Amino acid sequence: MSSTHQVSLDDYQEQVEGMIQAGDVFGVVEDVIDTAAIEDDQKAALWLLAWSSRDPWVQRHDALAALALVSNP
């Protein structure tokens, strides 16, 4: 008999935190979150965790760049 382990939110959290600590590119972390077999609200929470783990200067830089993209019609 074979058993399969269903990946839990805790498993994904551990993976995301490990990727952040390893210095993986944020886009790659986002891809892992996007393809995770979990609910959308859980994906959003993981994304927020990953985002909050970034350097505050990088967060601000990216936020300002996103605002610039949407403010120029």
Which residues, including other chains, have CB under 8 Å from residue 3's CB and lie 6 or more apart? Answer: none
Radius of gyration of the chain (CA): 15
Q: Tell me what pLDDT residue 72 has.
A: 72
pLDDT in tens, the chain (73 residues): 445 678 899 999 999 999 999 999 999 999 999 999 999 999 999 999 999 999 999 999 999 998 999 997 6
So what's the pLDDT on residue 11? 95
For residues 53-65, one letter each, b for 16 or more C-beta atoms within 10 angstroms of the residue's C-beta and e for the rest, the string is eeeeeeeeeeeee
